[in-house]
Structure 1
């Protein structure tokens, strides 16, 4: 295929001459020689030497085109003289172009771009193939070559490992030391049977058969009798101590005693308000199990993310026990005609401090006001008002001034229950609520299960990601459930996708027929570090269907890693969590308590590890001031978890550097991942 091009000025045509190669007059240079060029009459402040490859110079000179008034771009006749292709079968492409702007070099570049645009797709493809054929034959016939022998892939990796700066210029890791701390302890189990507090025999048998619970906890022993007496109660107890059963058992007991038996037409008699959707589902599932012997009592839940139409249909049929989040409860209170609270006898505010932290103060106040207001039906002057007051139970693992405010709003002559060993028993026996509650807020004591081993590691910023990977790898040697708390939803999404890509086997998309190997991949057929580990993600921006599916899947799984925000830090009961990792320290000390409380529940053992940078050691002292004992660990022992035995990596530093480069390569190759990494400030 021939291409003819006319490049002209207004006055005269462009003539470009190719000078003979400058290196031809000089002695051939070896590969290690250098060339220097000085400008006459100029002052030289520095000499810059640039290594040039003679083979590349020859190739560059051979590929230059001789351009005169008409450019005839044809392959060398002597090279293709034996080709079977007949060049005369296709007429040459004549392109007449007038390019007048810029210097000669700019006009040449402009002309070449215009030529490519004028060609059809088929002609452009033939031109590219023809050019590649010329390059290959010229390089094959050229006696001067500067192509370095290809080194094995492993050698490049080994060289890169030596040049890695992952362990260089990091801040020194201080030895913080540990103060003498006496943690606030709380006895979980009392050793007494469930039947000792006056529960119905069916309820006791049901607890043993379905929930495998036969022994009372401290909070249940102190709360259930008071709640059965009808008094308002404020309960402070550590996480995982059985607070949900402490309020659910009295309500179920009272509902099943009502005669004649309850029906859907009796309306809502108990309302349970919780801060999150997951806690709403969990509380509802527990109520279903407790109500199994009493099929005539109906329960349901409503929460954000669910379809309002479906919820309205359930409310219209009639329910007796309702679990819900504050926002959705207020929504139905204002827009659902069948949602009536005039018959409610029990109100439960679970995780009361969290309700205020999430901004539900106004919603909770609306619900409490609606319950306490005695409404009379319009047009019916003989309608009866509410005969009895509402019994309110307020529960929380930590006490704050916002809880004090909520207690003043919802509780009437309450009884305060605190299960810690430092509670003033004289004040509790005197039933002086204000004195005991104010004392608890002043002491600001934080109680954690004594069966949880707490520690922290000081990790430089560059080593945080590989250290977390090593920790997960070392814990995953045996089946383990790991809960990793991150600060934001963006961090959860980023770390979830990055770890699945780098640490586990790649999961095919639905549209992929089969996995195609990547020719440029650096895997070399290596087995993934965490090939059998499942990663889950949970945060507030997921849809309700996704959140429910993830929550259920992780609860049922025997092992796995759940990356989550603080949405899973309150009240969530996930069985057998072996390790809680706080990859970012919480903003408040109370959040630290709730996060750690996801493990070591109901007297079981657990571990909790906190990641801190070398400049965040003051957080350790804050924990110690709250009587929380936490020990320092060496982070290097977790880096050993990523040491591979495939013959490439042999030391901890090399393994960590190789994994870090893998993370960086994924981010550089994926534009979306790169943008997300910039937003979360990871690499």
Structure 2
């Protein structure tokens, strides 16, 4: 990847034992680090005290906006970064998911817009469509008093409709890299030559999703004289390279350890044979009824099948994955947020960046292949100081992956207690739900499933009538 360097102004009976133990890991130090120009400055930091929004120097309209949003006090990333960003510095922020990163970059952008309003003021890049919509909602809430206009430019939506929205000259554009490049290259009259702010959220994910070329094109056509914010959960070599190419003399804010899970999170595992995975998951959902769940799976097909199976068992479950159309993805999110659905069966597309406040329990139905994804999945709960529970379902095939996770986070997960007799009572019902879900999935993949099932049902009714007459 070649970036154009910016100019220098700038876890049954058949298996009874848990996985073997791992080596003891050193405890992570609970110290935050603020760096300026790459030099640690913790020795200059005073002991942290509660900081108010007023002390950060926000304007009266912004103080009212954060109050209206229910933000009682700044989060750590906000408390550490805003004094610099409000004074005009570029920022690279490393913080755990759910730490308030969106507010950390949205507040200074809206404050600057108050002082110097203009269209196409800021471009915010996000790795997923859902995250882009969420960021846009926060910008609109923060800028409600001044009539701030945003445009969400993502794939899966009509490009002509998006061009019309861009022609209305919004203040803030929140986009996925691929689609904004489409518009920069093909939408007549659209350019970002007057852009004042560039923000890249979830930068590590942007790069893992192979958006390097798109980022390069964007950096090539926007002004070098601009403010740039880069926020990421992890600092990878690719992120470092992007930092060098896009930021000028940045202040680096680190408010979390490299692979740390939040303190309010209770982490458990259950160790089960693969063939009983569905029934044990159903047991957990029954035992913890009344909570909201995000259930993570490995593939789009798993998301559909598990959601169908759970619905056949009477749960309010909906899928969320990359093969759904954009309107369906948004509909799934909205149903879950509103409480209309209690279980969101998601692929990793939803493991980063989505702030769904009422998530009580995260279940890793499939152990993530990449250990770092565990951090982002379980980060959906215990957000912003709240408590939460994460349970990982480990089969005989997942032991090595599970050990890697424990190794990565430097702690042992505790075994979640289960009643084997109670689990087996559910087996017959779950098996029938699996069978029906498999039929439904097969019909949906072949197309016209409802029509085919309707014809079969009609033939069976007619056959029954004939049998009755005999």
TM category (shorter chain) comes to 0.7 to 0.9
CA distance in 1 between partners of 2:284 and 2:393 (Å): 11
Q: Which runs of 5+ in 2 are unaligned?
A: 1-11, 33-47, 447-470
**Aligned residue number for residue 591 of structure 1:** 373
CA distance in 2, matches of 1:246, 1:214: 14
Could you report, residue by residue, the CA deviation over 1:612-635 in whole angstroms, capped at 9, with x for unpaired residues? Answer: 113533334323433442323156
Give 3-state SS (helix, strand or coil) of 1:393's partner: strand
Q: Counterpart in 1 of 2:261?
A: 448
SS at match of 1:398: coil
Is residue 631 of structure 1 aligned with residue 407 of structure 2? no
Which residue in the other structure is 2:57 paired with? 198
Asked if 1:659 corresponds to 2:429, the answer is yes
Is the 8 Å Cα contact of residues 321 and 349 (structure 2) preserved in structure 1?
A: yes
Q: Is the 8 A contact 1:620 1:630 kept in 2?
A: no
Contact 1:492 1:563 in 2 (8 A): yes
Q: How far, CA to CA, are the matches of 2:278 and 2:444 in structure 1?
A: 16
Alpha-carbon distance in structure 2 between the residues aligned to 1:548 and 1:307: 15
Q: Deviations over 1:255-281 (max 9, x none)?
A: 1012xxx3xxx4311100001010010
Q: Following the alignment from structure 2 to structure 1, what is the Cα–Cα distance between the partners of residues 200 and 441?
A: 46
CA deviation profile, 1:555-589 (whole Å, cap 9, x unmatched) = 11176000010111111100121000111111222
Q: 1:480 aligns with which of 284, 291, 294?
A: 291
Q: Classify the secondary structure of the residue corresponding to 1:601.
A: coil
User: Which of 165, 170, 184 pairs up with 1:333?
Assistant: 184
Aligned partners of 2:94, 2:231: CA distance in 1, in Å? Answer: 6
CA distance in 2, matches of 1:278, 1:448: 23
Matched, 1:270 2:122: yes
**2:131: which partner in 1?**
279
Write the distance in 1 (CA, Å) between the matches of 2:103 and 2:194: 23
Distance 1:483 1:572 in 2: 12
How far apart, CA to CA, are the structure 1 residues paired with 2:441 and 2:140? 47
TM-score (norm 1): 0.58
Asked whether the 8 Å contact 1:446–1:593 carries over to 2, the reply is yes
What are the superposed Cα offsets for residues 150-199 of structure 1, whole Å, 9 maximum, x if unpaired? xxxxxxxxxxxxxxxxx78x444336457655245478x95221111110
Q: 1:670 to 1:364 in 2, by over 3 A?
A: closer
What is the aligned counterpart of 2:157 among 306, 313, 319?
Answer: 306
Q: What secondary structure, in the 3-state scheme, does the structure 1 residue paired with 2:372 have?
A: helix
Q: What is the rounded CA distance, in whole Å, between the counterparts of 1:565 and 1:399 in structure 2?
A: 23
Counterpart contact for 2:305–2:437, Cα < 8 Å: no
CA distance in structure 2 between the aligned counterparts of 1:670 and 1:371, rounded to whole angstroms: 49
Match of 2:172 in 1: 321
Cα distance in 1 for partners of 2:392, 2:28 equals 18
- How far apart are the structure 2 equivalents of 1:668 and 1:417? 48
Task: Check conservation: 1:185, 1:449, Cα contact below 8 A.
Answer: no
Out of 104, 115, 122, the residue aligned to residue 246 of structure 1 is: 104
Q: Report the equivalent of 1:403.
A: 239
Q: Which runs of 5+ in 1 are unaligned?
A: 1-166, 374-388, 423-444, 505-532, 644-651, 677-683
Q: For residue 216 of structure 1, give the secondary structure of its aligned residue in structure 2.
A: coil
Q: 1:460 to 1:205 in 2, by over 3 A?
A: same
The 5-angstrom pairing of residues 486-525 of structure 1 reads: 486-501=297-312, 503-504=313-314
Q: Is the 8 A contact 1:185 1:450 kept in 2?
A: no
> Is the CA contact (8 Å cut-off) linking 2:94 and 2:235 kept in structure 1?
yes
Give distance in 2, aligned partners of 1:237 and 1:670. Answer: 42
**Deviations 1:572-608 (CA, angstroms, capped at 9, x unpaired):** 1001210001111112222111111110110000011
Q: Deviations over 1:240-299 (max 9, x none)?
A: 1111000010111111012xxx3xxx431110000101001000000110001112x322
Contact 1:176-1:632 within 8 A present in 2 as well: no
Q: What's the CA shift string for 1:360-394, capped at 9, x where partnerless?
A: 11111111111147xxxxxxxxxxxxxxx111100
Hey, what's the Cα distance between the residues in 1 that align with 2:192 and 2:293? 41
2:220 maps to 369
1:220 is matched with: 78
* Contact 2:269-2:413 within 8 A present in 1 as well: yes
Question: 1:561 aligns to what?
Answer: 343
* Cα distance, 1:664–1:557 mapped onto 2, change above 3 Å: closer
Contact 1:467 1:635 in 2 (8 A): no
Distance in structure 1 (CA, Å) of the matches to 2:297 and 2:69:
32
Contact preservation (8 Å) 2:194, 2:223: no
Instruction: Using the TM superposition, give the Cα deviation of residue 669 of structure 1 relative to its aligned residue in structure 2, in angstroms.
Output: 6.7
Instruction: Name the structure 1 match of 2:38.
Output: none
Structure 1 CA distance, aligned partners of 2:29 and 2:131? Answer: 27
1:542 match: secondary structure: coil
Alpha-carbon distance in 1 for matches of 2:88, 2:438: 64
Secondary structure of the structure 1 residue equivalent to 2:384: helix
Residues 1:185 and 1:658: Cα distance change in structure 2 (over 3 Å): farther
Q: Is the 8 A contact 2:153 2:162 kept in 1?
A: yes
Distance 1:289 1:567 in 2: 25
How many residues were matched structurally? 419
Does structure 1 residue 609 correspond to structure 2 residue 453? no
Instruction: After TM superposition, list the pairs within 5 Å mapping 1:52-201 onto structure 2.
Output: 170-174=14-18, 176-177=20-21, 181=25, 182-183=27-28, 185=30, 191-201=50-60
**2:275 aligned residue (457, 462, 483):** 462
Taking structure 1 as reference, are residues 308 and 669 closer, same or farther at Cα in structure 2, changes over 3 Å only?
Answer: closer
Q: How does 1:562-581 map to 2 (within 5 A)?
A: 562-581=344-363
| Correspondence for 1:391 among 201, 221, 227 | 227
Q: Secondary structure at the match of 2:51?
A: strand
Which residue does 1:111 correspond to in 2? none
Structure 2: how far apart are the matches of 1:467 and 1:673? 26
2:253 alignment partner, one of 414, 417, 425 = 417
Partner SS state of residue 252, structure 2? strand
1:183–1:465 CA distance, 2 compared to 1 (3 A): farther
